[in-house]
Amino acid sequence: MEFDFKNGEILLINKHVNWTSFDVVKKIRNTISRATGSKKVKVGHAGTLDPLASGLLVICTGKYTKRINEFQNQDKEYTGTLYIGATTPSFDGETETDQRFATSHIDENLLKQTAKLFEGDQLQIPPSFSAININGMRAYHKARNKEKFDLPPRRIHIQSFEITRIEMPVVGFKISCSKGTYIRSLARDYGTALDSGAYLTSLTRTRIGSFFLADAISVEEFEFQIRSLEGL
């Protein structure tokens, strides 16, 4: 296997939980710099994953960084789990539970029927704990400082929302959706639609367009490949 990082490579990386997308880019960039002896090779990713999410990151190098928007605009697929009957300020496990709700009225039929209601075009309000830029500051900084602010809704499209496992209060799902969809916001809205509450407990991105997690490697595997090629 040979790489041409300057002219452009597309690397499929399986991001670990608790890594930021920038952590992955930085690690890949440093690995390439050591192997090539050059710090001028561009490296970027096509679509951010939250630190608590795992799965597919499409990393572009060199001239292929010009194609990042092309890849970012493609549909995404995710699998994960929801906790039904409670909410958190961040809509996931980053923050502590702030409210609890009744779940005795929720059965398999309601869970599956409610998921189907979210398929199609819709407006979605992003989570306040997000990387959206507000007057030069990331939204999550304001949220952590308990500042009050509003984020405008965004138009998204959900091709499919399938409930794959039910072990109340934990529910598994598989979602195919457009660029810009926040699964954490979907968890919040899904809980509300159930006349209860919900938050995201795990998330894995399994596909971006025609790129699949099954074909991805870890950062450690990429480093090993480069060391093997360079005799390091």
Q: Is 50 a catalytic residue?
A: yes
Tell me which of 4, 23, 50, 150 is the catalytic residue: 50
CB-based burial of residue 16 (10 Å sphere; 0-12 exposed, 13-18 middle, 19+ buried)?
middle
Using CA atoms, how far apart are residues 227 and 19, in angstroms rounded to an integer?
Answer: 22
Question: What are the distances in angstroms from CA 85 to CA 43, 167, 221?
Answer: 41, 13, 39
Strands (E), the chain: 10-15, 43-45, 54-61, 76-84, 86-87, 99-100, 120-124, 133-134, 137-138, 154-167, 170-177, 198-208, 211-212
For 231, residues 6+ apart whose C-beta sits below 8 A from its C-beta are: none
CA dihedral 151, 155, 160, 163 (to 10 degrees): 20
Using CA atoms, how far apart are residues 69 and 87, in angstroms rounded to an integer?
Answer: 33
Peptide bond into 126 cis (omega under 30): no
Structure tokens at 110: 């309601």
For 5, residues 6+ apart whose C-beta sits below 8 A from its C-beta are: 32, 36, 41, 61, 62
- Residues with a catalytic annotation lie at 50
